[in-house]
Amino acid sequence: MSDYRAIAAVTATLDRLLQAAANAAVQQAEVRIGPPLAKLAEDGKPLVNIFLFRVLPNAALRNAHLPTRLGDGSSRRRSEAAIDLHYVFSFYGDADTFEPEREDAPALMPAAIAAAIADNQAALGDADLARAESRIRILPDALSLEDFAKLWSVFFQVPYALSVAYVCSHVVLETREPLADALPVAQGALRVWPMSDLALDRVGPEPGRSGPIVWGGPLHLTGKGLGRIGTSVRIDATVIDPDPEALGGTAIALTLTDALFGGTPLAAGGHVVQVLAPPAAGTPPHLRRGSNALPFALHPAIGPPVVAITSGGAPMRSGSLTLDFAPPVRAGQSVSVTLDARDPAHPHSVVLNSQPLPPASFPAGQMVFPFSDLPRDAYLVRAEVDGFASLVVIEPDPLSPVFGQITGPLADLT
């Protein structure tokens, strides 16, 4: 990394290196920094003109770093920006003796950068470009004749001189704001573990099968290296120690209950599961080896709908629908219920919102959804919590005439 003086340091290094190369090629040759002038061509003296005409972000590294700050806003790492410097070198001299064609373009090395900074101590001070981790390469810049024509057109009444374009890539600029003190090391140690053979392949309600998972139902993890005694399962931030009988060489079986999570059930929605290897002797808990992490969706389960008819004659009904939710609904979660009519001759659906509940009512294991002026019919009930839908009942009996069809849960409004 380097500070804001890095661009000037690169130009000064090019000046120094080109001066030595120019003198080796043509005696008494000079090097100048700045845009070309008409007077340079008129004088006809051997000279190399250095002009920085463009600064661009480095395409490969422009997204390699983002500023990192702590919670109080103080900097944890300094901000960085990788840039490419585009130069045009113009060569002047006696054309009859081919002086403009006898120049050379060197490469930037730390020693040359340090020497250039030392030569320009008053302007560059303690610039640290020579200590930068990345090396600056000088590469020919692929400018077409049209690009050169546009570039020289901005120099007012300056005749074209033999020129080549080079790019110095890449220079990393770094801010200089003070950083927060690093946390002290409480205990130094060096530990070596073999590569982890833990891996998760699938998460689902049955072994080797992906699918929706509900509270109170099974959670099966399939992978490899899962059978060691002491293996734990981490779901979000909760670490669970399964019963040894639930561990298999390639599978772990859990039942999602309140007791498994210390009496606080998971919320319906998306979660992440990971398997942790047994802790090694003397190893801090946060250094336990773990498998890859897999996401899974916990869908809400609803109990049999309880319908209370309060008014309405033929053919409309009004009242309320009471549903039990597992896991309970937490404060801030959005909940809705969709009723789909089962009469194929008159298909229609309606979305119900729950009655407002005070904050003290959460987590809510039961919610009431009022409705009004609904046609008499049997309705399929589906609940959604934060966009995750409850499961439907599918007829499992192959001998049933509705085998494989959705049969519930139903709310009877007839």
Output the pLDDT for position 340.
92
Q: How many whole angstroms separate alpha carbon 378 and alpha carbon 319?
A: 14
More confident residue, 94 or 201: 201
Q: How many whole angstroms separate alpha carbon 290 and alpha carbon 273?
A: 11
Q: How many whole angstroms separate alpha carbon 78 and alpha carbon 69?
A: 9
List the single range of 166-180, 245-259, 368-382 with lowest mean pLDDT. Answer: 166-180
First CA to last CA distance, the chain: 76
Q: 223-239, pLDDT tens digit by residue?
A: 888 878 888 899 998 99
**CATH number, span 199-299:** 2.60.40
Output the pLDDT for position 282.
64
Q: Boundaries of CATH 2.60.40 in the chain?
A: 199-299, 302-412
The pTM assigned to this predicted structure is 0.55
Q: 250-303, pLDDT tens digit by residue?
A: 888 899 999 888 888 899 999 999 998 887 766 666 667 888 999 999 999 999
Report yes or no: 273 and 296 within 8 Å, Cβ to Cβ: yes
Output the pLDDT for position 99.
54
Look over the chain and give the mean of its residue pLDDT values, rounded to a whole number. 84
Where does the pLDDT of residue 67 fall: very low under 50, low under 70, confident under 90, or very high at 90 and above?
low
In this predicted structure, the answer to whether residue 312 has a pLDDT above a threshold of 70 is no
Distances (CA, A) of 305 to 142, 213, 339, 382: 73, 21, 11, 10
Q: How many whole angstroms separate alpha carbon 391 and alpha carbon 299?
A: 7
Task: Report residue 6 as tokens.
Answer: 């890095």
Q: How many whole angstroms separate alpha carbon 81 and alpha carbon 292?
A: 33
Highest mean pLDDT among 61-65, 140-144, 240-244, 397-401: 397-401
In this predicted structure, the answer to whether residue 41 has a pLDDT above a threshold of 60 is yes
**CATH number, span 302-412:** 2.60.40
Q: How many whole angstroms separate alpha carbon 103 and alpha carbon 98?
A: 10
Where does the pLDDT of residue 1 fall: very low under 50, low under 70, confident under 90, or very high at 90 and above?
low
Where does the pLDDT of residue 195 fall: very low under 50, low under 70, confident under 90, or very high at 90 and above?
low
Highest mean pLDDT among 21-30, 54-63, 98-107: 54-63
Q: 126-163, pLDDT tens digit by residue?
A: 788 887 877 888 888 888 888 888 888 888 888 888 88
More confident residue, 139 or 68: 139
Q: Specify the amino acid at residue 278.
A: P
In this predicted structure, the answer to whether residue 18 has a pLDDT above a threshold of 90 is no
Q: What is the mean pLDDT of residues 101-111?
A: 61
Output the pLDDT for position 7.
86
Torsion, Cα 310 313 315 318, to 10 degrees, reads: -20
Output the pLDDT for position 22.
77
CA-nearest of 354, 381, 350 to 367 is: 354
Q: How many whole angstroms separate alpha carbon 283 and alpha carbon 189?
A: 10
In this predicted structure, the answer to whether residue 48 has a pLDDT above a threshold of 90 is no
Distances (CA, A) of 235 to 108, 123, 259, 264, 274: 52, 58, 14, 13, 7
